[in-house]
Amino acid sequence: MSGVGPDRDRVGEVARLFLKLGAVSFGGPAAHIALFHGEVVTRRRWLTDQQFLDLVGATNLIPGPNSTEMAIHVGFSRARWRGLLVAGLCFILPGAALTLALAVLYVRYGSTPQGRALLYGIAPVVIAAILQALLRLGRTAVKDIWLALVGAAAVALYLLGVNELILLFGGAAVVMLLRTGRRMASAGHLLVPWAFPVMPALAQLEPQRAVDLGRLFLAFLKVGALLFGSGYVLLAYLHSDLVHGLGWITQSQLVDAVAVGQMTPGPLLTTATFLGYVLHGVAGAVVATVGVFLPAFVFVAALNPLVPRLRRSPWTAAALDGVNVAALGLMAGVAYQLGRRAIIDIPTILIALAAAVALMRLKVNSAWVILGGGVLGLIIEAIR
């Protein structure tokens, strides 16, 4: 009985942290992971930099929303199975609830609230938070010149339009070749083989055009189970399945849904909540949300116990190092693309610089810096 109190305390810690992060995590997966790093490595010291990077690499070896899977991994590392469930649910629920509220307004009034002033101030802070995480994680991940070259190549190829999945697994393969040579072929079976037989089966799930809750669940379960890379590739999946394949929504509705997903905190996959409500009301919102996020819990539960073993194996350790630097390269590419849209004038330049100082020099909690950026955005727009 002596362990009950500490276990409950840890679950409570996980719940409080990820409810907060779920409520303030704007800017997409790269920014979310930057926030996680500041909270669980720098501030609370639940994980080391290497452990954190290994979990980031592990999330990139499986399909699903990376930042949500990272939250689930951290929850399991801190408070085992209850922590796994609590972290994931607490990270998802704030954004899903706000997305549902916006979906109700959208259906009732026929338009989506933009929140331009708020995001105007938040976006430069997000860029500063990503850069902070890149600098900190880069010191751990880039262990030699070859890893630096792999990371630089990932940035360049990403900006040239190469698929994220090719870059992640390509980074793993290149580093494995460099370190292990011929032994790689005999160890190829170690690279998460259990995940891939599931995918062809789900790829065959083709719900009919009529929308009911069962078909809605299967449609979003397929998206959640097959989504590799960051949440930014969600648009392509939904466009292919829901617009062209099934004809459930229009292109305009999809654009509106993704806009709401970007405006709300937490994972971008809460876009499913919005579309579920548009298609089938509150029940549809719940079913779509469960369907799109359920695979993340299953994959992480299966993979998390293997992460230390992956690090001990010379082949999979090399693969993780390759995935880590490729993932950092993708984060850098995302930061560059977002920065071009976020830092557009003198006020946003000043907000980004102030955020960088607050985060890197003054060590202010990134959640407060993001909230401060939003307030500044509202003030600037009000006085223009």
Instruction: Find out whether 251 and 243 touch, Cβ atoms under 8 Å.
Output: yes
Cβ distance 225 to 202 under 8 Å? yes
pLDDT in the model for residue 166:
81
349 contacts: CB under 8 Å, gap ≥ 6: 124, 343
Q: Are 273 and 123 in contact (CB under 8 A)?
A: no
Whether 129 and 369 have beta carbons less than 8 Å apart is answered as: yes
Amino acid 330: pLDDT: 78
**Which residue from 71, 78, 80 is spatially nearest to 19, judged by alpha carbons?**
71
Say what the pLDDT of residue 85 is.
Answer: 94
| Cα–Cα separations (whole angstroms), residue 367 to 20, 24, 129, 363 | 8, 6, 10, 11
SS3 (DSSP) at 358: helix
Give helix 314-342 / helix 29-36 axis angle, nearest 10°: 110
Structure tokens at 253: 């509705």
Q: Taking the mean position of all CA atoms in its chain, how far away is CA 297? A: 14
pLDDT tens for the chain, 384 residues long, are 334 456 678 898 999 999 998 888 876 677 788 889 988 998 888 988 888 888 887 786 677 788 898 899 999 988 888 989 999 999 999 999 999 998 888 777 554 444 567 767 877 887 887 788 788 778 877 888 989 999 899 889 988 888 777 887 888 889 888 877 645 444 444 444 434 444 444 444 454 556 778 888 988 888 888 775 555 456 556 766 777 667 788 766 776 676 677 678 888 788 899 999 989 899 999 999 999 999 999 988 887 777 666 666 777 778 778 877 887 887 788 778 768 877 889 999 999 999 999 988 888 877 688 788 888 988 988 887
Q: pLDDT value at position 115?
A: 57
Helix (H) or strand (E) holding 25: none
What's the pLDDT at 231? 53
Alpha helices in the chain (DSSP H): 4-24, 29-36, 49-60, 66-109, 116-141, 145-159, 164-180, 183-187, 198-203, 213-226, 234-238, 251-263, 271-303, 307-312, 314-342, 346-360, 366-383
0.85 exceeded by pTM: no
The residue count of the chain comes to 384
How many angstroms separate the CA atoms of 332 and 130, rounded? 8
**DSSP classification of residue 344:** -
Instruction: Report the C-alpha gap between 94 and 19 in whole angstroms.
Output: 7
Task: Look at residue 183 in the predicted model and tell me its pLDDT.
Answer: 53
Q: Are 328 and 141 in contact (CB under 8 A)?
A: yes
For the chain, report the end-to-end CA distance as a whole number of angstroms.
61
